[in-house]
Amino acid sequence: MTDLPKLIGTELIADFVTRLPTKPGVYRMFDADGDAIYVGKAKNLKNRVSSYARGQGHNNRIALMISITCNMEFVVTASEAEALLLEANLIKKLKPRFNVILRDDKSFPYILIAKDHEVAQLAKHRGARNREGSYYGPFASAGSVYHAINTLQKAFLLRTCNDSVYANRNRPCLLHQIKRCSAPCVNFISTEDYNVLVREAEDFLSGKNNAVKAELARRMEEAAEALEFETAARFRDRIQAMSFVTATQGINPQGIEEADIFGLAFEGGQFCVQVFFIRAEQNWGTRAYFPKADKSTSEAEVLSAFISQFYDDKPIPKQIMLSHEVEELELLEEAFSTHAEHKVEILVPQRGEKKALTDYAVSNAREANGRKMAETSSQTKLLDGMAKAFKLVTPPRRIEVYDNSHIQGAHAVGGMIVAGPYGFMKAQYRKFNIKAEETVAGDDFGMMKEMLTRRFSRLLKEHSDDRDANENDAAIWPDLLLIDGGAGQLSAVQSVLAELGVHDLAVVGVAKGPDRDAGREHFFVSGQSSFMLEARDPVLYYVQRLRDEAHRFAIGSHRAKRSKAIGISPLDEISGIGAKRKKALLQSFGSAKAVARANVSDLAAVEGVSSALAQMIFDHFHPNS
């Protein structure tokens, strides 16, 4: 009996169409390797997918996509709006090659006025909102947040120290001396008066700037009339701080309380989307994105796909302004309103101030695109130089640089950074907690061996046959390894690779020069004598940047691991003690050592600690009693 021929392309799609419902949903196309190559949504799955089965009227990109489709999957949804949201989620997750892909999708920072302590704290926040308090944002970058916090400190004198530092102060810190904190830690201000400052800061961040400034102006005048000139000067300084932030924002969004503004530019085969964040009638920063899309894709299609993915995991403002008309605008409004649980309006302004704002966003997108293309051109020249300097057959598409960090072997961490045609690829960075029993503490050779063994064992397991493949717009296999060290380190690395059966990978050791002088590095390549590059060679500067970035990443990972270890308490080892009970115990006794010395009755007196748990805590610290 012979196997039936496997269907592919239009024949496969036509076969699926016969079994599809006429309901809304999402479809996925897969290639011969089982990788998703396209995700789409439809109001009517049968009608939409049947258009692919005709095999005519498609551009080259869609025709190629159809021809390599070897399988499809379908999800039926309750509505087209729900399908749109699911489509955006799947595109971000799977990154299919024929979709418009949002790249560099990092989370945004927020300002948090934390209220899980009786004296509220002003802080930068990124990630899950698991602390009690008021969140304001998003801000385009951490720099924007720090600038805003700096202003808020001057204007409202709120504390930024963590609860542990606050609890252990017995005199005011430097921030109070430079008039950026009201020093509630040492009772220089009452809790009631401090809460007034907190409410004023919340009003300011909520857009009530004029009301807050008017109230401060009134109090300044009253102080001046009472001849309390120092008090009046403090109010004056706070008003000036608030005025400064609204006067130096680049754009002045009068009358726009909450909106995101998107400007799209397409030049040199590259798309750029510039986003401005308007909150509380203030510009909270801007960020440029460079979505991956085929050159044949229309600007309307790129912008529509971009904003769908952009808001997959972010709060959606009340108003969205676009520089270009997009398809299915009403559907996007419906989907966003459902997702945000409030009405969302999408505008394509044609005149007036709002049109000026979208034009400004487009102008910024063009400038960012120009800078990106210039950087890419410069990066290409550097990679060509790397190939020439280290005698590579072709310029490297993926460079991996390894370094490790520890203090006398403690909290050892290895770091891998990645660079390629578009510069540093931070999404590809990896850290390695050094944990193998055979790795001796402080043994740099052993740490490097463990890192490379783990890295390339996994690479061989998952991508042994994909030496030329790309994943998430980056090469999977490296073309070049840079190792911090000389001939000994190079030999150790090559022995690890040889054990794993990796023989055709270029490895370069970078040894620091005499007295560790930058610019006098010696390079070690297998089969060659060590050599140096010219002092002003751009390739030398580039290698230094790569090495310094790897060192920065490894050091940062080590410090994070060390800080986490410092924060571990013996109380964490006791079953039934969570964050709240741990906090209550530490607040009652001052330290874990004091908890260990406490008797059962004192432990049971702590809020949330039952008699049984108090006995368990006591037994943990007194196993022989």
Round to whole Å and give the CA distance between 269 and 290: 11
Question: In this structure, what CATH number is given to the domain that contains residue 578?
Answer: 1.10.150.20
Percent above pLDDT 90 for the chain: 24
Token representation of residue 591: 């330290």
Domain assignment of residue 362, yes or no: yes
Neighbour-count burial for 300-315, b at 16+ CB within 10 Å, e otherwise: bbbbbbbbbbbbbeee
Q: Is 472 left (phi over 0), alpha (psi -120 to 50) or beta?
A: left
Together in a domain, 411 and 538: yes
Together in a domain, 448 and 532: yes
Q: Residue written as tokens 């503004």?
A: 261
Q: Which pLDDT score is estimated for 1?
A: 39
Chain segment 537-562, per-residue pLDDT in tens: 888 888 888 988 888 888 876 676 66
The residue with greater pLDDT, 176 or 107, is: 176
Q: Is 411 left (phi over 0), alpha (psi -120 to 50) or beta?
A: left
Mean pLDDT of all residues in 388-407: 86
Q: Which pLDDT score is estimated for 480?
A: 92
Q: What angle do CA 314, 317, 319 make, to 5 degrees?
A: 140
Look at residues 521, 551, 546, 567 and name the one whose alpha carbon lies nearest to residue 406.
551
Together in a domain, 544 and 442: yes
Mean pLDDT of all residues in 150-170: 84
Question: In this structure, what CATH number is given to the domain that contains residue 70?
Answer: 3.40.1440.10
Contacts of 253 (CB under 8 A, 6+ apart): 259, 278, 281, 282, 283, 357
What mean pLDDT is reported for the chain? 83
Round to whole Å and give the CA distance between 297 and 112: 40
Q: Which pLDDT score is estimated for 562?
A: 60
Q: Which pLDDT score is estimated for 165?
A: 84
Q: Is the pLDDT of residue 5 over 80?
A: no
Round to whole Å and give the CA distance between 186 and 161: 13
Q: Which pLDDT score is estimated for 248?
A: 43
If one counts the domains in the chain, the total is 5
Least confident of 232-236, 373-377, 438-442, 508-512: 438-442
Token representation of residue 570: 């013996």
Domain assignment of residue 338, yes or no: yes
Contacts of 564 (CB under 8 A, 6+ apart): none
Chain segment 495-508, per-residue pLDDT in tens: 888 888 888 889 99
Percent above pLDDT 70 for the chain: 88
Question: In this structure, what CATH number is given to the domain that contains residue 500?
Answer: 3.30.420.340
CA distances from 486 to 323, 507, 521, 523, 529 (A): 54, 11, 10, 7, 12
Round to whole Å and give the CA distance between 269 and 229: 62
Neighbour-count burial for 390-405, b at 16+ CB within 10 Å, e otherwise: bebeebbbbbbbbbbb
Q: Which pLDDT score is estimated for 40?
A: 93
Q: Is the pLDDT of residue 529 over 90?
A: no
Question: What element of type H or E holds 346?
Answer: strand 345-347
Together in a domain, 409 and 458: yes
Amino acid residing at 492: A
Q: Which pLDDT score is estimated for 21?
A: 92
pLDDT-based confidence at residue 244 (cuts at 50, 70, 90): low
Together in a domain, 243 and 310: no
Q: Is the pLDDT of residue 460 over 60?
A: yes
pLDDT-based confidence at residue 517 (cuts at 50, 70, 90): low
Q: Is the pLDDT of residue 209 over 90?
A: no
Round to whole Å and give the CA distance between 600 and 602: 6
Together in a domain, 547 and 471: yes
Contacts for 514-519: CB closer than 8 Å, 24+ residues apart: 518/544, 519/544
* 3-state SS class at 26: strand
Together in a domain, 323 and 418: no
Q: Which pLDDT score is estimated for 202?
A: 85
Least confident of 166-180, 244-258, 267-281, 401-415: 244-258
Q: Which pLDDT score is estimated for 36?
A: 93
The residue with greater pLDDT, 140 or 45, is: 45
Contacts of 473 (CB under 8 A, 6+ apart): 95, 101, 103, 292
Look at residues 464, 468, 379 and name the one whose alpha carbon lies nearest to residue 424.
379
The residue with greater pLDDT, 38 or 602, is: 38
Residue 595: how many other CB atoms lie within 10 Å = 25
Domain assignment of residue 605, yes or no: yes
Domain assignment of residue 218, yes or no: yes
Together in a domain, 527 and 406: yes
Q: Is the pLDDT of residue 206 over 90?
A: no
Least confident of 83-92, 204-213, 244-253, 272-281: 244-253
Domain holding 243, by residue range, is 110-247
Together in a domain, 30 and 119: no
Mean pLDDT of all residues in 200-207: 80
* 3-state SS class at 481: strand
Together in a domain, 130 and 45: no
The residue with greater pLDDT, 137 or 200, is: 200
Q: Is the pLDDT of residue 4 over 50?
A: no
Amino acid residing at 129: R
Of 247, 268, 286, which residue constitutes the final position of a domain?
247
CA distances from 329 to 171, 296, 316, 324, 495 (A): 58, 21, 15, 11, 59
> Alpha-carbon dihedral of residues 261, 267, 272, 275, nearest 10 degrees?
-20
Contacts of 525 (CB under 8 A, 6+ apart): 390, 391, 490, 506, 507, 508, 509
Together in a domain, 537 and 439: yes
Domain assignment of residue 562, yes or no: no
Of 370, 386, 412, which residue constitutes the final position of a domain?
370
Domain assignment of residue 324, yes or no: yes
Together in a domain, 240 and 308: no
Most trustworthy range by pLDDT among 164-168, 342-346, 467-471, 475-479: 342-346
Round to whole Å and give the CA distance between 291 and 305: 10
Look at residues 323, 312, 241, 236 and name the one whose alpha carbon lies nearest to residue 276.
323
pLDDT-based confidence at residue 247 (cuts at 50, 70, 90): very low
Of 45, 62, 94, which residue constitutes the final position of a domain?
94
Domain assignment of residue 100, yes or no: no
Chain segment 279-308, per-residue pLDDT in tens: 877 777 788 999 988 888 889 999 999 999
Domain assignment of residue 101, yes or no: no
Round to whole Å and give the CA distance between 394 and 367: 31
Question: In this structure, what CATH number is given to the domain that contains residue 264?
Answer: 3.30.420.10
Q: Which pLDDT score is estimated for 527?
A: 79
Residue 253: how many other CB atoms lie within 10 Å = 20
